[in-house]
Amino acid sequence: MMKTKSILILLVLFLGSCDVTKEFVRSGYMVDTPSENNNVKLFLSESTVPAYKEIGLARIKIIENNLEKAAHEARKTAFGVGGDCIVYKQVVFTGGQDSGYTFEFIVGKLK
């Protein structure tokens, strides 16, 4: 019984700590200061975005297929690097032991 509880506790801690993985790849355009406010706009396709400069690519890996949660994390990443918009690019499911959904967003600065 004690062994089962220990395994359950470790499993909960492991899953809780692996909930979100973030990666940012800069594409060349540098922004000196972060955005003035935390109002990072989400665009669901490039055709709906006004003119902008690309800062980089944010990859957000989460356990569930949840665009809203991934966009929330991508907004935080964009704000930290000076972006004021994110453009949803794609989601890819990875199976196996390290399974999850990787959402990709272009991080940009509106002109």
53-72 pLDDT, tens digit each: 999 999 999 999 999 999 99
SS3 at position 76: helix
Report the alpha-carbon distance of residue 95 to residue 54 in Å, rounded. Answer: 30
Q: Are 106 and 44 in contact (CB under 8 A)?
A: no
Give the pTM.
0.78
Mean pLDDT, residues 74-91 taken together: 95
Which domains, and CATH codes, for the chain? 19-110 (3.30.1660)
The DSSP call for residue 24 is E
